[in-house]
Structure formats: C-alpha cells, structure tokens
Structure 1
Amino acid sequence: MLHDQLSYTLSAEYFTRFKFIQFRLEGQLDKPYRLLAAIVGFRATWWVGIYLGVVHGFTGLMQTSPHRMFVSISRGILLNLLTVLVTALLGLYIGYQLPQTGTGWSLPPGLTDPRDFIAVGSMHNFSYLGGAIGALVGAGYQVYYYYRQRYLLTRLA
C-alpha cells in the first residue's frame, strides 16, 4: 500500500487510467484517489504476505531455538524488503529510460505524461520480480545463519 502511494505520487494517471479500471474501482471515484490507490495496493499484494510467510516461515523452522528463528526470519524478511526496494528503484530508473527506446506497451490514449506512466508501470513490474528474488535472498540468508550458528557452536564445544 505504501508502494502504491509513492507510485500515485509519481503518476496519478497510472492509477486513474489503468489500475482503478483493472481493479474495478470506477464506481468509487467519488472517494479520495489516495484511498483508492491504497485499496489497489492491498488487493494487488495481499497474497504476497502469504507467499513470503510460507517461504520465510518454513525456512525459519530449521533454526535450533525460538530466538534464532525470530532473528533469522526477521533478518530474512528485512533482506527481502530491501531487495524489493532496490529492484523497484531500478525498475523506476529503467522505466524512465524506456520511452526513449520504445516499450511496445499498449498505453491508454491521451495520456498527459506517458513517461511517468511507463516508469511507474516498470517500477511495479520490477517490484514483483524483486519480491521473488528477495524471497530467495532472505531464505538463503536463513540457511546461511543456520550453518553459521552451527559452525560457531561446534567451535565452542
């Protein structure tokens, strides 16, 4: 939802000309557009929390104590979120380069600012990619954390 608030700031048209239609919110345009952007953000990503919970939760089960599980899952999720942030910003940067080279996207006619529309669309696409990559990075960290703790315990014994 926060992601979509930033996206809305960068390109309101991305929501008014695409996302509100995609999520069938045209009948609610009397509500504040920021609220509708938050609704889009929730509807578009509620399932991501389930996916990440399963990935990080199951990976965390390998830890040897509840404390280590909490630490590894927390750090794994943080790495996941940082990966999403970096890939989203990369997507935004690339999106601002795309109009110069052409995107092949079917854009709504009459856009006031197609460059911002494309950049935000690219940022959204990269964010999903970042979520998947971040899940692997976060889970990989948890595996590393487990083996590092195990190694330290054997050295101390």
Structure 2
Amino acid sequence: MAKKFSLLILIILLSIILASIYGFLHNQISYSISTEYFTEFKFDQFWSVKYTLDFPRMSAGLIGIASTWWFGLLIGLIIGIVGFFQPTTKIMWKSSYGAIIRTLGIAIGIGIVGILVGQFIISNINANWNLPAELIDRKSFLTAGTMHNFSYLGGVIGLIYGIIYQLKIKKASAQHRI
C-alpha cells in the first residue's frame, strides 16, 4: 500500500512536469502563430509575468507553464487514483504511465486540429468577436486562441480515453487471475 501511495505521488509529479513542458512548447508555437495573442491578451491576462516582457518568448513559455501545470495536477491525480485500484504496483505504473502518454498525445493531436479549425473555419466566421480593438492580424489571433481552446479539450478527451485505457487493463488483469 505504501508503494502505491509513493507511485501515486510520482504519477502526479510526472503529469505536472509533462503538462508544464507541453504548456511551454505549446505557447512557443502559438506565439509564432500570433504574437498579438500574447501582446494584446495573454500578457495582460497573466500580469504577474510582466517583468519578463523584454523576453517575450520566455514570457510566453512561462505563461504556458502557468496555464498547464494545474491541469497536469488534475490529470495526474485522476489517473493516479484510477491506477491505484490496479491489483499490483507494476500494473498501476503501466496503466497510469500509458494513460498519461495517451492523454498527452491526444492533447497534442487535438491542439493541431485546433490550428486547422482556427485557420480555416473560426477566423473566417464574420462574427462580432470580443477581440482587442488594436488587432492587426485577426486571423492569426483567432487561430492561436482556437489552438489553446482545442488543447484543453484534447486534455479532457485524452483523460477520458486514459481512464478507459486503465479500466481495460484492470479488466484484462482480472481475467488473467481467474
């Protein structure tokens, strides 16, 4: 039981680290798509990183970490708790690690879909969006924003898939023990 609690903490920490790395890299991509998404929105939203505005890419990366570490905590906690009910620590690790990697992969994939949806659909909708008045490149701004929204959606879908993956492993291991 103590090993499972230690493993639960490891799973949570791993999820936080991977989510933070994802957030940092994700924001490097979205900064490349639209610097205005940060200069006209995210830098104001995350006022606590204004001291690094001389290094906007670093600021974007730090905002990415601040935006995702907590999601990694949530994912790690849920996946770790589901994994806790596996029959052994080995199966707990295998199912939890596999679920985390699948969640991350799905978040990346759906984030990429978000770029495409933002570029070719959302940014072409002639709606009265609540956008900053000084925008120069509306299309890129909306593309970066759509990528962000889709990435969170991907995290939720990935988490659901990860839980299903873990439950299938639990069922398979139970059938082998009968």
Query: TM-score, normalising length from structure 2?
Result: 0.80
Question: 1:68-83 residue pairs with structure 2 within 5 A?
Answer: 68-83=91-106
1:115 aligns with 2:139: yes
Question: 1:142-157 residue pairs with structure 2 within 5 A?
Answer: 142-154=166-178
- Say what the alpha-carbon RMSD is for the aligned residues: 1.6
Structure 2: distance between partners of 1:26 and 1:66: 40
TM-superposed deviation, 1:104? 3.7
Structure 1: distance between partners of 2:85 and 2:176: 16
1:42 aligns with 2:41: no
1:59 aligns with 2:82: yes
1:140 aligns with 2:161: no
Classify the secondary structure of the residue corresponding to 1:132: helix
Give the alignment partner of residue 106 of structure 1, picking from 130, 138, 149.
130
TM-superposed deviation, 1:64? 1.3
Residues 57 and 20 from structure 1, CA distance in 2 versus in 1: closer, same or farther, beyond 3 angstroms? same
Which letter maps to 1:65? T
Aligned residue pairs: how many?
Answer: 154
Residues 40 and 151 from structure 1, CA distance in 2 versus in 1: closer, same or farther, beyond 3 angstroms? same
Q: Deviations for 1:70-126, whole angstroms, at most 9, x for unmatched residues? A: 110010001111111121111111111222223442111232211111011011011
Structure 2: distance between partners of 1:122 and 1:153: 46
Structure 2: distance between partners of 1:86 and 1:52: 17
Query: TM-score, normalising length from structure 1?
Result: 0.90
